[in-house]
Amino acid sequence: MQANFPKSEGICIFCGKTFTKAGINRHLKSHLKKKEAELVEGKSYLVKVEVDPYGGSLPYFLSLWVDGDAKMGYIDTFLRDIWLECCGHMSAFSNGEISMGDMVKEVFYKDLSFFYEYDFGSTTELKLTVLEEYSVKADDDIVLLSRNEPLKWKCDVCEEETATQICIVDDEMFCGKCAKEHAKECGDFEDYASMPVVNSPRMGVCGYTGGSIDIERD
Ligand SMILES: [Zn+2]
Ligand SMILES: [Zn+2]
Ligand SMILES: [Zn+2]
Ligand SMILES: [Zn+2]
């Protein structure tokens, strides 16, 4: 896979403007601060989800507004639905004290970071960081405030067209035209090794073909 990652940008759910991965959460905080002034009392949190073990350097991100009365298990379900679920693997928050039945407000505080693992074989490891705490109820248990828009990976062969498929045997990405060429020389590609490019860090892993929510951005 490429060392030069494609541009990572997300759209703000509140105002529809586009921001970089580095700038989106600072922007979201300004909206949530205003929400807090509306005085629907409760507890909620702005949570950043990134992809480890690469220190958050992969271009994927989610910005979530999580209600304090939600269960930690809702976060597990949400991450599976948007990024991870292939065939019902086990998952856990890697910080041993956090269990799925815990309430978010019993676990979260500003600046808490912890890890989450899906599938203990071909593991996808995510890092969650609680960026801010608010004294207002969230609009839902979990609200997707922003995520990286679909990334435009370049074809590894022609280095011009946007890639639409990957070969999991050769770990290469192809545009439609170059995929046809690759199928001629790679028997596995036609049999089982061709997978779609999807907007998830689990792309190309264990038959993952995309999420079940927010699918228009998959
Ligand atoms: Zn906005
Ligand atoms: Zn699987
Ligand atoms: Zn190509
Ligand atoms: Zn191949």
Tokens of 36: 């807090």
How far is CA 140 from its chain centroid? 19
pTM to 2 decimal places: 0.91
Dist. CA 58 → ligand 3 center (Å): 22
How many angstroms separate the alpha carbon of residue 98 from the centre of ligand 2? 24
The DSSP secondary structure of 179-212, one letter per residue, reads HHHHHHH-HHIIIIIEEE--SSTTTTSTT----S
- Number of continuous H segments (helices) and E segments (strands) in the chain: 5, 11
Ligand 4 geometric centre to CA of 189 (Å)? 5
Ligand 1 center to 24 CA (angstroms) = 9
* C-alpha 54 – ligand 1 centre gap (Å): 28
The ligand placed nearest to the CA atom of residue 171 is 4
Please report which ligand is nearest the Cα atom of 168.
4
Instruction: Tokens 């693992």: give the residue.
Output: 117
Q: Which CATH number fits domain 9-147: 3.40.228.10, 3.10.290.30, 1.10.540.10, 3.40.30.10?
A: 3.10.290.30
What is the distance, to the nearest Å, from the Cα of residue 177 to the centroid of all Cα atoms in its chain? 28
Q: pLDDT value at position 39?
A: 75
Tens-binned pLDDT, residue by residue, of the chain (218 aa): 455 788 999 999 999 999 999 999 999 999 999 999 887 889 999 999 999 766 657 899 999 999 999 999 999 999 999 999 999 999 999 877 899 999 999 999 999 999 999 999 999 999 999 999 999 999 999 999 999 999 999 999 999 999 999 999 999 999 999 999 999 999 999 889 999 999 999 999 998 999 999 999 99
- Domain coordinates in residue numbering, the chain: 9-147, 165-217
Alpha-helical segments (H) within the chain: 24-37, 72-79, 104-107, 176-185, 187-188
| Residues shown for the chain | 218
